[in-house]
Amino acid sequence: MNEPDKHGAGCGRVNRRAFLGDCGMGFTGLALGAMLQREARAQEPAAWMPPDGRPHFAPKAKNVIWFFMLGGTSHLESFDPKPALNRYAGLTVDESPFGERVTQSPFYRKNVRDFAGVPRSLMPKIYPTQVGFQRHGQCGTEVSDWWPHLARRVDDIAMVRSMWTTDNDHAAQLQFHTGRHIFDGFHPSIGSWVRYGLGSLNENLPQFIVMGQAPGDCCGGVGAHGSSYLGPEHAGVPLTVDPTNPLPFGTPGAGVRQEERRAQLALLRELHGLTGATYPADPTLRARIQSYELAFRMQMAVPEVMKLDEESAATKSLYGLDKTDTQRMGRMALTARRLVERGVRFVQIYDDGWDAHSKLKQNHTTRIGQVDLPIAGLLQDLKQRGQLDETLVVWATEFGRTPGAENSDGRDHHPYGFSVWLAGGGVRGGTVHGATDELGFHAVEHRHYVTDVHATVLRQLGLDSHRLEVPGQKRLEIDFGQPITQILA
């Protein structure tokens, strides 16, 4: 006769835990990971307890919408006007009046000249700016003519023109989000730190949601919205803009009606009750039981968020849903607004295709034309609804583009000086902070490493990154960054 194991099953039989684990509920992985992690922490010694979900000090913002342009947007054709590029176009950097100052920098000597001191061909000629700039708003901030809609929102925006990072390849995507070079391994992303530090505002929705095409494996992959040692429940949850399947691998299956789903849940609750009574001290089983109910709540709540038809025609037009070119980003931006309205802490939106090594003008006019209206529409919509004050919007990219030409009509990767901007959530709009040199080569005034953006976001949410330590996990001082206080109200 087969002896039952400790979970109540004999040889050749399915035990209760396996049955509950394989019961076909579809989307349980992320929810289960979260529950298991919480249960495990409950068993840990009191010497370390995770944050209790309360901010360290009074927050200025409740949530974050984070736009990230993959490939590297040219700061020189977007937010950092450099007339000198036109004045000295066709000259080498050495031949320009700024040559000595630029070429004596450690970066230039290492990367633009070879070890014999002979000029290499990374930036043979200064490439003129491909678009004009105009002043906008009461603040008079200069924005390129390729961003006409966003230019109208500059009085709400704080521009930071002095960012820098160290990865000259596309793993800068990972570095911008984690603060670490890809050779340092994987570390928690900014979204996961927010999710880790703050409690849930809505138990029916993930607190860290990701939309758009994520970085490829070459560039950190899901690590750009991953949680590393913080645990899987703090990683970003992918969401698509397809209303028929917004949670990849998370739908109950084709043809399963909501009534059927509720009946399944009712049956599982009954089984859970029986099994929980038999094994009341089993934390893994308890977490699995809870995960099913969390998964069901998500499956009910997320599709409701995606019902963009509920929005007025004017609102949909504001986001560009009525135009083919802007529809994709418009759906993501409008969905992001609906998510933060419902309590999601951090919404990360990727947009790919900005790597303009050639045909920069064609590339950037196309890419900007697809995102300018929706992002500007989001800022306007949040403001007119009174939500911009509590929602911090961040626009960033992995690096800028070189002042010199590549392939005659493009620009190369450039991590030594580029621009980002922030709006809402206690940010002082109409501000320009920091500067690059005359050619847009180096950040020279109020220089900020990428983790300064992280520290700024955390501060506005009421979190001190130094107080988010995890025992046994060594962090460097640069990991924490410094809040960019000059752009805060």
pLDDT exceeds 50 at position 73 = yes
Partners of residue 284 on adjacent β-strands = none
pLDDT exceeds 70 at position 48 = no
pLDDT exceeds 80 at position 417 = yes
Task: Provide the 3-class DSSP secondary structure of residue 177.
Answer: helix
DSSP string over 101-138: HHHTSHHHHHHTB-TTS-B-SSS-SB---SS-EEEETT
Q: Which of 66, 68, 78, 67 is nearest to 411 (CA)?
A: 78
Instruction: Assess if residue 13 is contained within a domain.
Output: no
Instruction: Assess if residue 90 is contained within a domain.
Output: yes
Partners of residue 350 on adjacent β-strands = 68
Using a cut of 0.85, tell me whether the model's pTM lies above it. Answer: no
Task: Provide the 3-class DSSP secondary structure of residue 315.
Answer: helix
Instruction: Assess if residue 299 is contained within a domain.
Output: no
pLDDT exceeds 60 at position 419 = yes
Tokens of 22: 């394989």
Q: What is the CATH number of the domain that holds 144?
A: 3.40.720.10
pLDDT exceeds 70 at position 464 = yes
Contact predicate 203/297, CB 8 Å: yes
Domain count, the chain: 1
Residue with tokens 């002082």: 428
Average pLDDT, the chain: 84
Q: Which of 367, 354, 331, 369 is nearest to 401 (CA)?
A: 354
Residue 241: band (very low, low, confident or very high) from pLDDT cuts 50, 70, 90: confident
Instruction: Assess if residue 2 is contained within a domain.
Output: no
Instruction: Assess if residue 67 is contained within a domain.
Output: yes
Instruction: Assess if residue 33 is contained within a domain.
Output: no
Please report the pLDDT score of residue 53 as a whole number: 83
Instruction: Assess if residue 119 is contained within a domain.
Output: yes
DSSP string over 402-464: -SB-BTTTB--EE-SSEEEEEESTTB-SSEEE-EE-TTS-SEEES-EETHHHHHHHHHHTT--
- Burial class of residue 46, CB neighbours in 10 A (0-12, 13-18, 19+): exposed
Instruction: Assess if residue 187 is contained within a domain.
Output: yes
Above pLDDT 90, what percent of the chain? 63
Range of 465's domain? Answer: 50-241+306-487
